[in-house]
Amino acid sequence: MTPRGSLAQIGKYPVVRKLGEGATSEVYLCNDPFNLRDVAIKVAFPESFQDPARGSIYRKLFLTEAKLAGKLQHPHICQIYDAVAEEKLHYLVMEYVDGGTLEKYCSPQSLLAVERTVEIIFKCTRALEFAHKLGVTHRDIKPANILHTGETEVKITDFGTALIASGDTTTQVAGVGSPAYMSPEQLKDLPLDHRTDIYSVGVVMYSLLAGRLPFQAANNFTLIYQITNAEPEAPSSFRPDIPGAVDAIVRRAMAKDLAKRYANWGDFSADLAAAFRSEHFGARKSQAFADSDRFETLRRLPFFENFSDAELWEVARMSTWRHAPAGEALMKEGEPGDYFCILAQGEVKVTKHGKLLNVLRAGEPFGEMAYLSRKEHARGADVTVAADASIISVPTRRLNQASESCRHKFDRAFMEILVERLAMANLRLSGV
């Protein structure tokens, strides 16, 4: 048998280097020569599968979970590309994320800014809502299972490890370290639903904000007692710059009583977005629009009604956002156009030779002929800000590189608008 940590090749994948090791598996960075990309491969230690009583159950659960994860295609969930169960070698082939996990931001000397934490948790809540809608509960949310890269990019990983660990052994296997992130109902072995994940995300948020766990105990027994009985101190008692609204969100996510906890992910993420926008935050945050802010804004615009979460995240990433004061000229007739805009807030007017053609309100696009006509396109009219506005610009070049489904949604949205405008024009023509 191959000794641990010395694999040179896993199936058809040449190993680049070892990335890490857990209690039941180790992870390697490998090369996928067929698809020409880096992948992370998690290899289960053979012992867990060779157990005469449990081996076959583990194997079956392993495959079931892999099948499940293949369906979770979301920008903030780590993709599983393939799963292989051989006699002696079981492994999952996953998306490789360059960067570590959130673990390193959970101690007082390396905390993230509060806004960034809120952003990260917001993305987690949206991703887990997506999973929940597909009937998937993670059951093992903790900082070590949230990969992190860039400013606030996250990918949730290890879906279903809790299930693989199976039944009554969950606590021991998953919680080799500690049950710190488990919900009270999980510790009591009650039936679980998505709200156990809501609780665990609450604990992750607590740890990222305060730099410490909500409950600290000398041993697991005391810890379990506290999780099921004690109230944690508010995160702001360890870090005064945490606003009250954020304290309240953590408290509600971590409520022991299910009736007091967020009943669904939507409420949780809505509160996070609201906290981000609140006055208190606004004073300190820069003019820049945060990802969560962008996402929430897009989600509310009718133009994006039929976009999925994944597609909206694409839009949030490819677009540039800015505020424009009343009076600013945004587009001029005759200028070449290589981007179009969607008005997020405020009012703009469209004029031609000084004659008013149209006044646009939040949610309406302008300059879209640059995208729709495919050819080199000069602006056909002037666009000026009428009332202080927030403007989303989408470069046509970047949209052309977006996923097919995202472009398709733009096309459908524009189509509705074109049909509407054509109907209006025909009406005016027939009225003349």
Known catalytic residues?
Answer: 140
300-306-310-314 Cα dihedral, nearest 10 degrees: -70
> Smallest distance from the beta carbon of 425 to other proteins, in angstroms?
4
Q: Is 356 in the site for other proteins (CB under 8 A)?
A: no
Nearer to other proteins, 283 or 429 (CB): 429
Q: Which is nearer to other proteins, 60 or 284 (CB)?
A: 60
Of 381, 321, 388, 302, residue with least CA distance to 348: 388
Here the contacts of 215-224 (C-beta below 8 Å, separation 24 or greater) are 215/180, 220/175, 220/178, 220/179, 223/178, 223/179, 223/180, 224/179, 224/187
Angle (CA) 425 426 430, round 5°: 120
Please report the beta strands in 45-197, taking only residues with DSSP state E, as ranges in sequence order: 80-85, 90-95, 146-149, 153-156
Q: Can residue 422 be called a binding residue for other proteins (CB under 8 A)? A: yes
**Shortest spacing between CB 147 and other proteins, in angstroms:** 22
Give the nearer residue to other proteins in terms of CB position, either 225 or 414.
414
Minimum CB–partner distance for residue 419 and other proteins (Å): 4
* Number of C-beta neighbours around residue 9 at 10 A: 11
The least CB distance from residue 378 to other proteins, in Å, is 13
Residue 83 as a binder of other proteins (CB under 8 A): the answer is yes
Binding mask 358-397 for other proteins (x = CB under 8 A): -----------x--xxx-----------------------
Is 432 an interacting residue with respect to other proteins (CB under 8 A)? yes
Euclidean distance between CA atoms 200 and 144, whole angstroms: 12
What span, in angstroms and rounded, lies between the C-alpha atoms of 291 and 116? 10
Between residues 86 and 193, which has the closer beta carbon with respect to other proteins?
86
Closest CA to 153 of 129, 120, 118, 106: 120
Give me the least distance between CB of 69 and other proteins, in Å please: 10
Among 39, 41, 66, 162, binds other proteins (CB under 8 A): 66
Nearer to other proteins, 51 or 416 (CB): 416
82 binds other proteins (CB under 8 A): yes
Q: Which CB, 322 or 421, lies closer to other proteins? A: 421
Q: 16-55: which residues touch other proteins (CB under 8 A)?
A: 33-36
Q: In angstroms, how far is CA 101 from the centroid of its own chain?
A: 14
* 412 part of the interface to other proteins, by CB under 8 A: yes
Total residues interacting with other proteins, rule: CB under 8 A: 41
Q: What token pair was written down for 164?
A: 């693989």
Dihedrals phi, psi of 258, to nearest 5 degrees: -60, -30
Distance, CA of 417 to CA of 365 (rounded, Å)? 9
**Candidate ranges 65-73, 148-156, 238-246, 285-293; the one touching other proteins (CB under 8 A):** 65-73
Interacting residues of 360 by C-beta distance below 8 A, sequence separation 6+: 343, 347, 348, 349, 350, 366
Q: Min. distance of Cβ 411 from other proteins in angstroms?
A: 4
Residue 382 CA from chain centroid, whole number: 38
Q: Binding to other proteins by residue 407, rule CB under 8 A?
A: yes
Q: Would you count residue 193 as binding other proteins (CB under 8 A)?
A: no
Q: Does the footprint of other proteins cover residue 349 (CB under 8 A)?
A: no
User: Residue 4 or residue 408: which is nearer to other proteins going by CB?
Assistant: 408
CA pair distance 120, 117, nearest whole angstrom: 5
| Interatomic CA distance for residues 241 and 111, integer angstroms | 12
Choose which of 2, 50, 70, 400 interacts with other proteins (CB under 8 A): 70
Using CB under 8 A, pick the residue from 10, 40, 84, 97 that binds other proteins.
84
Residues that bind other proteins (CB under 8 A): 9, 11-12, 33-36, 63, 66-67, 70, 82-86, 352, 369, 372-374, 404-405, 407-408, 411-412, 414-416, 418-423, 425-426, 428-429, 432
